[in-house]
Amino acid sequence: MTSRIRWIAANTFREAVRDRVLYNLIAFAVLMSGAAILVGQISIDIERLVVVNLGLTAVSLFGVIIAIFVGIGLVSKEIEKRTLYTVLSRPVRRWEFIVGKFFGLAGTLAVNTFFMAIGVFAAVLYVSRHFQKADGWILVALYFIVLQFVILTSLALLFSSFSSPLLSAVFAFSLFVIGSFSEDLRGFAGMTHGVTSWLATGAAYLVPNFSALNVITSVAHEQPVAGHLIFYNTAYALLYATMVLCGAVLVFQRRNLK
Amino acid sequence: MSSRRWNAIFFVLLLIACMAGSVFFLQRVDQLRSGATLGEVLYIPSPKVLKRLSLGYSGLLADIYWTRAVQYFGGKHHEGAEHFDLLAPLLEITTTLDPQLVVAYQYGANFLAPKPPNGAGQPQRAIDLVEFGIRHNPNDWKLYYEEGFIYYTELKDYARAANAFARGSRVPNAHPFLKLLAGRMAEQAGSIETARLMWTAAYQTTQDKAIRANALAHLRALQVDEDVTTLEGLAARYKDQTGQFPSSFSQMESAGFMRGVPLDPLGRPYRLLPDGRVQVVSPDDFPFIERGTPPGYKPPATPKFLPSD
């Protein structure tokens, strides 16, 4: 079972690399080096701040775009190319296929983020001339960004399991936007009463919570991130992604592929 | 049962367990980041940029921002806050998005003008807001009334208040009160009678319960201030005649200074102190009173409006 999931995940990773997904690293490198050089010349005393903000934002946005646009094709593309039939004709269960695909794309994004992280730290080193203790929090911000990707990948995969790529992209991107405002949503839900309150609270908890996973600004200001938040965010992201994956598996298992 | 069905049951159970777990941890995250929810943040502070970004759906966006302004003020007011930093920007965004949203000027000015904790303590921004409203809704007499009201109550600028009421009285279908207020403001702006007229107008020109309760509380406070002034004057006269302050209102009654024991606007007797001062029994029930309170009395952060209001 594990080897089959690993095999599908490795193939997904290989396919993403073959699709030149990692080429975004070049754009990222250009962006970071350009920003690092330019910001020192056009601003005063916010070089590190700008580089951290810009770097982490770019890591997040590049990853979100990849997660959505690669994720939405993970299942539908296999059906379109008819390669899915070849895979499923072997002793591979449908849920293994979904889980393998998930790990493949999540792995691709983790590798991508790893290289981008090197770029961010190189740019920080360039503008600050040295590392400081507070730079360690950048790693936490990067970790949270990876958790965002994990959730988003599972969502893209869920939509890909039953919808067309275009609609899947729209759904996944919409949920990303909604999830970025989820704290406000829960705040508004808390102000309602009666049945409306139940419905609003339910909806607010059902959408993914991306806002707590975004600590870019505080990290840029060298503010620490609470250990509890790291633990809760990790638990939340993994549970939420597993929940969505279960949904994807259930949908995919019932799908008629004939 | 087939393995496929077992699989399905397993994944359904796992899904439910994960959902419960994710909600649990999300609640823990919210507890850690309690300030983040609806916190002091305006994602896009520029009203003009926001209007362009609304892609023509500015009416709906204005409604959302107005709701947010109300919730913001309500939340801050409830906790007795001294600062309402986002209130003015929220109102400016709301009214820029929908300049015809008259309710935002009316209530918004009432939120902005009074001193904290009853409001944001920004009367000039309240005036600016109402002026913006008047420019876009020149035929709405309520806006002139609001402007005059703020000039009168918060800025004590009676000339401008009179001017605002006079402008409003010339608007078609204006409330007759405006002409009366304009005249009164020009003649005897600082008197208790004018203040009473203002708050009576405030009470009669709205159906909003909160504003009516506020107006009633002010009217009661004016009555108390007037009563205390009168009663203390009578006690002083009693002393002039007898050489000492009266020990009770009954004593003053016997001496022919009054008929019956005086009652406050809530029907409770006033308290006469040995030094001739007069106090209300329960000052918390009379927010806004300036006289009749015990020495060193501090009113509660949030004014107490009575259920009957």
- Tokens for A154, please give them: 């599972």
- Smallest Cβ–Cβ distance between A246 and the set B11, B33, B36 belongs to B11
pLDDT of res. B294: 85
Which residue in the set B12, B14, B26 is minimally distant from A242, CB to CB? B14
- What would the pLDDT profile of A233-245 be if each residue is shown by its tens digit? 999 999 999 999 9
Query: Would you call A224 an interface residue with chain B, using a CB distance cutoff of 8 Å?
Result: no
Structure tokens at B58: 């500015």
Q: Which domain covers residue A170, as residue numbers?
A: 2-254
Q: Which of A102, A249, A254 to mutate to test the interface with B (most CBs of B within 10 A)?
A: A249
Question: How many Å apart are CA A87 and CA B184, to the nearest integer?
Answer: 89
Strands B278-279 and B271-272: antiparallel
B70: nearest CA partner in chain A: A191
| CA pseudo-torsion sign B111, B115, B120, B126 | positive
Chain A residue with CA closest to B67: the answer is A188
DSSP state of B305: P
- Closest C-alpha to A228, from B39, B30, B38: B30
Confidence of residue B304 (pLDDT cuts 50, 70, 90): low
CA distance B300 to chain A (A): 25
The pLDDT value given to residue A74: 81
How do residues B236-279 score in pLDDT, each as one tens digit? 999 988 888 898 888 888 888 888 888 888 888 999 899 889 99
Residue A127 vs residues A39, A59, B38: alpha-carbon distances, Å: 9, 18, 35
Percent of chain B with pLDDT over 70: 90
Q: How far is C-alpha A81 from the chain's CA centre?
A: 26
User: Among candidates A71, A66, A68, A64, which has minimal Cα distance to A98?
Assistant: A71
Give the mutation candidate from A240, A256, A257 for the B interface (greatest B CB count, under 10 A).
A240
A203 touches chain B (CB under 8 A): no
Structure tokens at B40: 């002091």
Residue B1: pLDDT band (50, 70, 90) is low
User: How do residues B89-131 score in pLDDT, each as one tens digit?
Assistant: 999 999 998 888 888 999 899 899 998 878 899 999 999 999 9
- CA dist A193 and A197 (Å) reads 5
- Is residue A92 predicted with pLDDT exceeding 70? yes
The pTM of this model reads 0.61
Chain A: residue whose CA lies nearest to B23: A205
- Determine, for residues B30 and A186 on separate chains, whether the beta-carbon distance falls below 8 Å: yes
Chain A residues within an 8 Å CB radius of B37: 183-184, 186-187, 190
The DSSP element (H or E) to which A48 belongs, if any, is helix A47-71
On the question of pLDDT at A252 being above 70, the answer is: yes
Helix (H) or strand (E) segment spanning residue B271: strand B271-272
A41 pLDDT tier (thresholds 50, 70, 90)? low
CA distance A177 to chain B (A): 14
Q: How far apart are CA A26 and CA A55, in angstroms?
A: 13
Higher pLDDT, A185 or A132: A132
Contact B30 A240 (CB under 8 A): no
Interface check for A93 against chain B (CB to CB < 8 A): the answer is yes
Among A184, A212, A249, the residue with its CB nearest the CB of B33 is A212
Cβ neighbours of residue B78 under 8 Å, at least 6 residues apart? Answer: B302
Q: What tokens does B183 get?
A: 């005249």
pLDDT at B38: 47
From B14, B26, B30, residue closest to A246, measured CB to CB: B14
Give the residue-averaged pLDDT of A136-143.
93
CA-closest candidate to residue B19, choices A205, A199, A156, A248: A205
| Per-residue model confidence as pLDDT tens digits over B8-38 | 888 889 999 998 999 898 888 887 776 554 4
Residue B242 and residue B235: Cα distance in Å, rounded? 10
Cα distance between residue B227 and residue B293, in whole Å: 13
A255 at the B interface (CB within 8 A)?
Answer: no
- Alpha-carbon distance A41 to A187, whole Å? 42
CB contact under 8 A, B38 and A247: no
The residue type found at A2 is T
Residue A212 touches partner B, C-beta closer than 8 Å: yes
Tokens of residue B68, six digits: 């947010």
| Cis-peptide into B176, omega within 30 deg | no
- List the one residue out of A109, A180, A103 whose CA is nearest residue A146: A109
Structure tokens at B63: 């409604």
Fold of B47-196: 1.25.40
Q: From the CA of B43, how many Å to the nearest CA of chain A? A: 11
- Which of these, B91, B302, B281, B299, lies nearest to B214 by C-alpha position? B302
Closest-CA distance of chain A to residue B41, Å? 11
pLDDT in tens, A174-227: 999 888 878 777 777 777 778 888 888 888 889 998 888 888 888 888 888 889
Domain count, chain A: 1
| Chain B contact set for A216 (CB, 8 A) | none
Contacts of B21 in chain A (CB under 8 A): 235, 239
Q: Residue A87 pLDDT more than 70?
A: yes
The answer to whether the Cβ–Cβ distance between B18 and A249 falls below 8 Å is no
Place of tokens 């005036």: B127
For residue A228, list chain B residues with Cβ-Cβ distance below 8 A: 28, 32
Q: Verify whether the Cβ–Cβ distance A243 to B18 is below 8 Å.
A: yes
Nearest Cα of chain A lies from the Cα of B93 at a distance, in angstroms, of 18
Q: What is the rounded radius of gyration, in angstroms, for the C-alpha atoms of chain A?
A: 20
| ipTM of the shown complex | 0.70
Q: Which residues of A167-183 are buried (b: 16+ CB within 10 A; e: fewer)?
A: ebbebbbebbeebbbbb
Whole-number pLDDT of residue A239: 96
DSSP letter at B298 equals -
Q: How many CA atoms lie within 13 A of A242 on its CB side?
A: 19
Q: In this structure, what token pair is assigned to residue B179? A: 């002409």
CB–CB contact A232 B38 (8 Å): no
Nearest beta carbon to residue A242 from set B18, B28, B38: B18
**Which residue carries 């309402």 as its tokens?**
B84
